[in-house]
Structure 1
Amino acid sequence: MLRRLTFLLIPAALIAAPALARDSLGVYGDWAAFRDPNVPRCYAIAMARPSRLERQFQPYAAIGTWPKKGERGQVHFRLSRNLAPQARILLFVGGQRFDLTGGGGDAWSVDKRMDAAIVAAMRSAGEMTVSTRDAAGRAFSNSYSLAGAATAMDAAQIGCAGIR
């Protein structure tokens, strides 16, 4: 119950965050969708599940669209810790594994083809987990509920559909 309450409060915190330039497109399960008309961009976003391990950063997953750049469905993870140099970053989504790239505290897919495969996997899975090693060499992971992810991604796509 407490975990579910936490997930309900996270999207509310995202909406109330100081980035005033963005418009809320809705909250869907554990995910939310936003439009930032100043960039312009739209994105679906979720916070990682709570963890007992220490965090350097608040981890989140985002699927973004930048219509003027021709980018859509771009996968990005803000990890809870800085990565070890040359660390292997693995994403597990519904029985599929993806080797991500990244640096600092961030990870991405390696190309548009992988973005599309990850987004497709997210649409039919219940959760996803990013696993890697931090700068001290310790293994860690960030896990995400995918409840509402498909609807939030669709809302983000629709939110930027008219921008060319």
Structure 2
Amino acid sequence: MAAAALTGAAMPAAAQESTNQVAANTAWSVFEDKNPKECWAVSAPTETVNTRDGRVVAVRRGSILLMTFFRPDAGVAGQVAFTGGYPFAGGSTVEIDVDGTSFDLFTEGEWAWPASKADDAKIIAAMKAGSNATLTARSSRGTQTKDTFSLSGYTAAMGEAEKRCK
């Protein structure tokens, strides 16, 4: 599925502005919006490292979020999405490593997603079984970012988001 086809359905409309938090499970929170109906489990990183030319650098980034969301009216049930808080380098991918198992996410603008529903399912299964997810990406300015997320509470948060958006 092409990135452009997912853009409209991939990001929860209020993912970064919503105040509709309905649950929290350790490192993960659950949000729900009613119109359109959408629910998502989301977490911020526990560690972030930014490098350029092999050196750690300080950079300004927006919200850094890893999420799994559900939007029943759009047929979205368990889609992984990541925003690094900056525009990704054109044509680049984001690598998600869950306890040594790697997957690629394609990018568009500031967002990255798996290429297919089958890839979503594989990543979700790994995240449910894992303890940490590390996402490595490259910005349009050439900065490499490495964001580590705890998966503690992920299974419960994802289950709650799914239940709320059946």
Q: Same fold (TM over 0.5)?
A: yes
Does 2:87 correspond to 1:88? no
* 1:89-146 CA-partner distances (Å, limit 9, x unpaired): 2111122111110122211111100111110000011110111211122221121111
Deviations 1:31-81 (A, max 9, x none): 011111111011101112243642321100110001122211101101133
1:42 matched to 2:31 = no
What is the alpha-carbon distance in structure 1 between the residues aligned to residue 22 and residue 66 of structure 2? 17
Tell whether the 8 Å contact from 1:88 to 1:132 is kept in structure 2 after alignment: yes
TM-score normalised per structure 2: 0.79
Q: Distance in 2 between matches of 1:76 and 1:62?
A: 5
2:25 is aligned to 28
Supply the distance in 2 between the matched residues of 1:77 and 1:67 (Cα, whole angstroms). Answer: 20
**1:111 to 1:18, Cα distance in 2 relative to 1, 3 A:** closer
Question: The residue matched to 2:158 in structure 1 has which SS?
Answer: helix
Check the 8 A contact 2:105/2:115 in 1, yes or no.
yes
- Checking the alignment, whether the CA contact within 8 Å between 1:80 and 1:142 is kept in structure 2 is no
Does the 8 A contact of 2:62 with 2:85 survive in 1?
yes
% identical aligned pairs: 27
Greater strand share, structure number: 2
Report 1:8-19 matches (<5 A).
Answer: 19=18
Determine the C-alpha separation between the residues in 1 that align with 2:157 and 2:42: 8
Distance (whole Å) between structure 2 residues aligned to residue 19 and residue 146 of structure 1: 22
Q: Distance in 2 between matches of 1:18 and 1:103?
A: 20
SS at match of 2:48: coil
Give me the whole-angstrom Cα distance separating, in 2, the residues matched to 1:80 and 1:116.
Answer: 25
- SS of aligned partner of 1:51: strand
Amino acid paired to 1:115: D
Q: Count residues in correspondence.
A: 143
| Structure 1, unaligned runs of 5 or more | 1-16
Q: Which amino acid aligns with 1:34?
A: F
> What is the rounded CA distance, in whole Å, between the counterparts of 1:103 and 1:49 in structure 2?
24
Residue number in structure 2 paired with 1:153: 158
Which residue matches 1:125? Answer: 130
